[in-house]
Amino acid sequence: MTILQGEKLLVGTFPPIPERKSKQLQMHGDTRQDPWYWLRDWENPKVKEHLHAENEYTQNALKDTEKLQNQLFEELKLKINDEERSVPVKDGPFWYYSEIKKSQQYTVYKRSKSEALQSTETILDVNELAESKPYCEIGCCVNSPDHRYLAFSVDENGEEEYTIYIKDLTTRELLPDVIEGATECFEWTNDSRGFYYCKLDKNHRPKWVYSHALGSEVKKDTLIYEEKDSRFFVSLDKSESSRFIYICLEGNNTSEWHYMPADSIDQSLKMIEKRAQDHEYDVSDHEDQFIIRTNIDAIDYRIVTTPIEKPDRAFWKDLIPHKHGRLIECYSVYQNYLVIQDKQNGQPGILIYHFNTQESEVISFDEEVFDVSIQGHRDYHCSILRYCYQTLRNPPSTYDFDMNTKVKVLKKKLQIPDAKFDESNYLTKRVFATSHDGVKIPVSIVMHKDTQNKEDKPLILYGYGAYGVSLETDFNTACFPLLDRGFTIALPHTRGGMDLGQEWYLSGKMLQKKNTFIDYLCVAEHLIATGYTQKGKIIGCGGSAGGMLMGVVANEKPDLFASIIAQVPFVDVLTTMLDESLPLTTSEYNEWGNPSDKTYYDYIKSYSPYDNVRKQPYPAMLVTAGISDTRVTYWEPAKWVVKLRDCNTGNKPILLHMNFDSGHGGASGRYDYLKEIAMELAFAILSLKF
């Protein structure tokens, strides 16, 4: 293999060593040295050479695991069906669904005029789109209201920049209307003669909303809205009633929604409620009222109504009042019902409000650790609520609940084709660890029943804790090869997530961000103290902001871990948050703070993983990245790995796997994705022997 050293290429078996180049970063009288800053220069051929050398080194380091990787890949394949079909959804005269066949990497979208799918029509085969493409991801795929056309958005390189195509389902031909540089979302008008879509600016931020009339030149599309504040992103939504199309502006924990009639394009645009700092809301409609979820005077949200002709806050009235500790996560509107997905004490639930009787009912669940989510519907007038229920050990089950008759019907339970799989072989539980300030941190755990009494138990500790995202306790087939090998898997619901409501999130962001990291480490020590694992037997794992978490805990208490798997990790926090040209920087000031303010600069610098790498022995690490990633740019993990090796006084390997065909989400094909998981699982198993 080849490695870089200064200006020369050398042959050897050591990690690639990129040259140092002096680079000083100055702010607030503080100077930081970053000798590998130059790795962000993609036009420099030495950057590509270095990254390819990193992959070669990783492949060589994991060569002895090739047989294990293949075995794990086959085990993972046994956990997914070669042929899988979604539950059909009724829309007008058709039942729409998707399926995937044996040996196919991608989904095929279909429809039928009968729920029994007696005669079917293929409307889009993504496998055909993906031919000869290393990456192919569908953003949205939506039929027009008259069912003649299909609009779909495609990302062909992992950069989350989409091209929108229109297919005539009568002629089976693509229209010449091709829209590039768009986001994934769009919304059809009710007359099926056009749609609205969002476009990205040069910094990859969703900034504009345009309308497009079918058959017209794209360059003549009408600009409907332009967002001039770089902290806000635009998106689109259409109400369940199909009466309105909404333009949604989100950023810095602040919202602003506009609406227009959905009957045809180029309608007049009106505002619901002007943006105000830290006011988050979202909107739908029902008859002559808007239905609004808001956090005004309601830290965990409430549902209010207001007349459509008087949408501003002065006219808002409670429909579902705020209840402290009950987080209203989302809702769905039907003609006769309002369905709310909430969370109390970290447990999800479903509440159904009857518009006619003004009464509410709750759908209850028995498991200690589970996940439930309401599914979207296309028939505003129906009484059927579809939801999905699953646990860490139980595969997803899709139910239809008739809100009128109270009859529940199981529509589908995901079947695991592995004959050896038996969900009764696994145990789930929830425990609590005490953090530094006395706060109890919930931890969801799954293990094989034969593992619980063993002393030598390795443990996967998967963490996230950011952006107010809850760490869901859903079924994950990637867990079972490890569970069957005696691993325990634990999910700490640290502050910074929304697991226990808005206050839980607020206490793990901005100038309280360190609570996330401390919570995670306290959970690790609690699980050691209570016999779930041993010191040095923990494999830390997290991606994106969870990768930041991995970077911090590796710096703070490396001796707790056998290894760390950091997926697309956000680790050069201070430098990135000072670079306003990057897509997410300005919109995330309210998550991490704006380091142009010295208070936030000093605080971010005190934990930023890249800035706090130091001379000490580090655990084995596998770091993954995507060359097209616009959320966490490739150079962050690339620089971090080099600096870790430079400071590592131990002898455990630190590896980088750069995916040259993808972005933030990894490989797009289902089998290619399984191969990436198999590599990570093999590394976790191998790391216990280092």
What is the 8-class DSSP label of residue 616? B
What CA–CA distance (Å, rounded) separates 164 from 188? Answer: 13
Residue 676: strand, helix, or coil: helix
91 is catalytic: no
Tracing tokens 């769009």 back to the chain, one arrives at 186
Question: And the tokens for 292?
Answer: 């609004």
Q: Which of 221, 342, 499, 629 is catalytic?
A: 629
What CA–CA distance (Å, rounded) separates 512 from 269? Answer: 39
Residue 132: count other Cβ atoms within 10 Å of its Cβ: 5
629 is catalytic: yes
Nearest to 545 by CA among 579, 580, 505: 505
User: What are the residues facing 149 on neighbouring strands?
Assistant: 168
Q: Which of 239, 544, 628, 668 is catalytic?
A: 544
What CA–CA distance (Å, rounded) separates 324 from 300? Answer: 6
Q: Which of 286, 628, 664, 687 is catalytic?
A: 664
664 is catalytic: yes
DSSP 14-45: SPP-PPP---EEEETTEEEE-TTGGGG-TTSH
Residue 373: strand, helix, or coil: strand
Distances (CA, A) of 208 to 202, 224, 232, 328, 586: 12, 8, 11, 30, 17
Nearest to 550 by CA among 646, 450, 486, 632: 632
Tracing tokens 């409620």 back to the chain, one arrives at 273
Secondary structure of the chain: what % helix, strand, coil (to 5)? Answer: 20, 35, 40
Q: Taking the CA atoms of the chain, what radius of gyration do you get in angstroms?
A: 26
Distances (CA, A) of 61 to 176, 469, 676: 49, 35, 15
Nearest to 439 by CA among 328, 532, 518: 518
User: What are the residues facing 446 on neighbouring strands?
Assistant: 428, 489
What CA–CA distance (Å, rounded) separates 655 from 534? Answer: 24
Question: And the tokens for 682?
Answer: 């093999």
Residue 428: strand, helix, or coil: strand
The tally of CA atoms less than 13 A away on the side-chain side of residue 483 is 25
The catalytic residue positions are 544, 629, 664
